[in-house]
Amino acid sequence: MATEYKLRMGDGKRLFMTKEQIVADLKEGMADAADLGDIPDLSEDEIDKLVEIITMPSRMVGVEQGMEVPVTHDIGTIRIDGDQGNSGVGIPASRLVGAMMHERAFGADTMELGHIDYSYKPAKPVIAQEMQTMEVCQQNMIVPLLYGAMPNMGLYYTPDGPFENPGDLMKAFKIDEARESMEHSAKHLTRDIVWIMQRMMASGSDGVNFDTIGAAGDGDMYASLHAIESLRKQFPDIYIEAGMAGELLLGMHGELEYDGTVLAGLWPHQQAALVAKAGANVFGPVVNTNTSKSSAWNLGRAVTFIKQAVKDSTIPCHVNMGMGVGGIPMLETPTVDAVSRASKAMVEIAGVDGI
Amino acid sequence: MSNQEILDKLKDTIVNQNINGCAEATQEALDAGLTPVEIINDGLSPGMKVIGDKFEAAEIYLPQIMMSAKAMNAAMEILLPIMEAEKGEADEGAGLAITYVQEGDIHDIGHRLVTTMLGANGFKIVDLGVDVPNDTLVEEVAKNKGKKMLLVGSALMTTSMLGQKDTVEMLSEEGLRDSVKIMFGGAPVSDKWIEEIGADATAENAADAARVALNLMK
């Protein structure tokens, strides 16, 4: 009987596969990415390396010595204090304590201050508190501390915001009105992000993290790119990290352009150029996990996409690794066997600059 | 203009999201002697197939699909009264399609597109709307028992998708499972899920849904 290795499905369920099955799934995932993104396959050597990583007997694996990369954290300041619904562990602690724990105990190379609502729009009414917290954190920390939140353009649509919901308008076949609503929302989102970051920079922030760009489709990306461009002009030394929400930029509008490129339908390697053009320092590409496929399938696919993004990007790529992205199963607290294997593969095969 | 040219023009109006043009081309086709079935099967549906393929390839997006569906609707407003008059009340057409969005889910753009496409392909429609409890579904199926019937459920979220399993079980418990074909759709629905819960089919997109539905009802 052939040896079976422990893997996981994309939803985290334990799975046992033979080496032949693993190779088949890796190649199938790779082919899916290559087909969708019109990008090259991985080489046979790279497939072999992926098999080696997946079949390592240790529960947890790490990168080879000398291949360590920086790790950047997002909402980590409230990961300590937050409950499971907020990806936290429920230990009462201030945001300062959370940030310092990541810096001094967990080895984070950069850190982020984020509000519990974690979108730019709800940070506006509490901007004074955000500014004061940033200042206190900066006085106590050494690693670069960014201010971060989700652009989350959905908050500008009814019932949460002032503009009519494009989903409702589209259902009524009011396509032009839906697009106008997205364009208005994008302008307001850009304005709000810039306004918030002007104040956070005045409070000593080292930069900004755009977390989950494109969550509300191409309008979300359009607004974020314009905000990046504006911030770069106003603060030439600001550190800007631009992380994506998903692998494919959804065309909710369908016709928005940036620098002559239609935003809808861009894959990670195509998003990288626009993010760099707008003025970001770091690009955070995303590949989504398919919960109905094995972790081998997902990892083969994710590494293929990210390798091309790293190749095409003119700025460093810090790949998004966490629940449901980067070949990691979709679990609130992703398992260490899957996280460490996927991370090692991203560093040693895709060649990412950071995580 | 030859019949093929007329059909190509119809197809182009769908592909190019030309709403007014589609209605005009439909009238032109009728005036040229083409039947509503020919207009739908050889002109409008191939156009929607192109739209479905382009969406799959991420070449077009939701707004463009909605515009094409609207163009198709404009044509169907002209064709449906003619088809109904020709068929008479007793004719079941392709069958009765009961369409709905699963309980706990209000995402209905996909549901509306599929409903439009089924109507365009000769199904009589009972649209139960969104957030529909399984009890309502069972009642509706019981009410229409004996008819050529297709249940078409949509769920965008994995949480609401789980309710589809209960739908199949409840219909079986009530002795209604053999009275109806069941199709489920939505982002999380896969062939494996359909097999697991004992439903009959799923489809990749609205255009594909119409094709699958017609095959299912043969």
A267-323 confidence digits (pLDDT tens): 999 999 999 999 999 999 999 999 989 999 999 999 999 999 999 999 999 999 999
Contacting residues of A for B158, CB less than 8 Å apart: 291
Instruction: Reduce the DSSP state of residue A8 to 3 states and report it.
Output: strand
State the residue for tokens 């418990």: B173
pLDDT of residue A81: 85
Tokens matching residue B114: 């599929």
* pLDDT tens digits, A215-226: 999 999 999 999
State the residue for tokens 């019981």: B142
Alpha-carbon gap, residue B106 to B113, rounded angstroms:
14
pLDDT of residue B86: 77
pLDDT of residue A173: 82
Whether the predicted interface score ipTM is above 0.90: no
Which residue of chain A comes nearest to B189, CA vs CA?
Answer: A292
pLDDT of residue B153: 96
Rounded to an integer, the average pLDDT of B33-57 is 86
Alpha-carbon gap, residue B50 to B25, rounded angstroms:
18
**Whole-Å CA distances, A336 to A10, B42, B80:** 14, 55, 58
- Cα angle B198, B109, A331 (rounded to 5 degrees) comes to 60
pLDDT of residue A37: 95
pLDDT of residue B173: 95
pLDDT of residue B201: 96
Alpha-carbon gap, residue A218 to A263, rounded angstroms:
6
Instruction: Reduce the DSSP state of residue A248 to 3 states and report it.
Output: coil
Q: What is the nearest CA distance from A276 to chain B, expressed in angstroms?
A: 23
Nearest-CB residue to B61 (from A36, A252, A291): A252
> If we measure between CA atoms, which residue out of B165, B68, B154 comes closest to residue B108?
B154
**Whole-Å CA distances, A301 to A34, A267, A273, A339:** 8, 13, 21, 15
pLDDT of residue B80: 82
Rounded to an integer, the average pLDDT of B69-75 is 87
Which residue of chain B comes nearest to A252, CA vs CA?
Answer: B62
Of how many residues is chain A composed?
Answer: 355
For residue A198, the tally of other CB atoms under 10 A from its CB is 14
Alpha-carbon gap, residue B156 to A214, rounded angstroms:
19
Alpha-carbon gap, residue B131 to B129, rounded angstroms:
7
Element (H, E) at B192: helix B191-197
Residue B122 reports pLDDT greater than 90: no
Inter-axis angle of helices B62-87 and B19-31, nearest 10? 30
Name every residue whose Cβ is closer than 8 Å to that of residue B33 and which is 6 or more positions away in sequence: none
> If we measure between CA atoms, which residue out of B181, B172, B186 comes closest to residue B212?
B181
Alpha-carbon gap, residue A251 to A85, rounded angstroms:
29
Task: Record the pTM.
Answer: 0.85
Average pLDDT of chain B?
Answer: 89
Q: A207-216, A316-325, B74-83, B123-132: which has the minimum mean pLDDT?
A: B74-83
Alpha-carbon gap, residue B204 to A149, rounded angstroms:
34
Tokens matching residue B10: 């119809």
Nearest-CB residue to A253 (from B60, B63, B67): B63
For chains A and B, count residue pairs whose Cβ atoms are closer than 8 Å: 49
pLDDT of residue B52: 80
Rounded to an integer, the average pLDDT of B92-119 is 86
DSSP state of B126: E
For residue A129, the tally of other CB atoms under 10 A from its CB is 12
**Beta strand pairing status for A14-18 and B149-154?**
unpaired
Percent of chain A with pLDDT over 70: 99
Gyration radius from chain A CA atoms: 20
* pLDDT tens digits, A116-174: 889 999 999 999 999 999 999 999 999 999 999 999 999 999 999 999 999 889 878 88
* pLDDT tens digits, B80-90: 888 878 766 65
Q: What is the nearest CA distance from A249 to chain B, expressed in angstroms?
A: 10
**Do A100 and A346 touch, CB atoms closer than 8 A?**
no
> If we measure between CA atoms, which residue out of A304, A265, A268 comes closest to residue A285?
A268
As beta bridge partners, residue A113 has A147
Q: Please identify among residues 185-214 of chain B the ones whose CB lies closer than 8 Å to any CB of chain A.
A: 188, 190, 192
* pLDDT tens digits, A253-262: 999 999 999 9
| Any A CB within 8 A of B59 CB | yes
Element (H, E) at A213: strand A207-213
Name every residue whose Cβ is closer than 8 Å to that of residue B5 and which is 6 or more positions away in sequence: none
**Whole-Å CA distances, B127 to A126, B91, B113, B132, B171:** 45, 19, 12, 10, 19
Q: B192 and A292 in contact by Cβ < 8 A? A: yes
Alpha-helical (H) ranges within chain A are 19-37, 44-55, 95-104, 120-123, 127-140, 166-171, 175-202, 218-234, 268-278, 295-312, 336-345
As beta bridge partners, residue B113 has none
Tokens matching residue A37: 């993104």
Q: Please identify among residues 72-111 of chain B the ones whose CB lies closer than 8 Å to any CB of chain A.
A: 73, 108-109
For residue B15, the tally of other CB atoms under 10 A from its CB is 19
Instruction: Reduce the DSSP state of residue B29 to 3 states and report it.
Output: helix
* pLDDT tens digits, A40-90: 999 999 999 999 999 999 999 999 999 999 998 887 677 888 876 667 888
CA dihedral B17, B23, B26, B30 (to 10 degrees): 180
Contacting residues of A for B161, CB less than 8 Å apart: none
Element (H, E) at B135: helix B134-143
| Any A CB within 8 A of B58 CB | yes
Alpha-carbon gap, residue B189 to B194, rounded angstroms:
7
Residue B120 reports pLDDT greater than 80: no
Contacting residues of B for A251, CB less than 8 Å apart: 58, 60-63
Q: What is the nearest CA distance from A21 to chain B, expressed in angstroms?
A: 18
Residue B213 reports pLDDT greater than 70: yes
pLDDT of residue B32: 94
Q: Does residue B130 or residue A1 have the better pLDDT? A: B130
Interior/surface letters B163-183, b for 16+ CB within 10 angstroms, e for the rest: bbeebbebbeeeebbebbbbb
| Any A CB within 8 A of B64 CB | yes
Nearest-CB residue to A170 (from B59, B66, B190): B66
Q: What is the nearest CA distance from B141 to chain A, expressed in angstroms?
A: 27
DSSP track, B157-182: SHHHHHHHHHHHHHHHHTT-GGG-EE
pLDDT of residue A76: 65
Q: pLDDT category, B91, cuts 50, 70, 90?
A: low
Testing the interface with B: which of A35, A36, A169, A173 to mutate, by most B Cβ within 10 A?
A173
- Cα angle B33, B38, B42 (rounded to 5 degrees) comes to 125
Testing the interface with B: which of A170, A293, A305 to mutate, by most B Cβ within 10 A?
A170
A interface with B, Cβ–Cβ < 8 A, is 36, 167, 170-171, 173, 175, 178-179, 218, 248, 250-255, 264-265, 291-292
Most confidently modeled range among A189-203, B16-30, B48-62, B117-131: A189-203
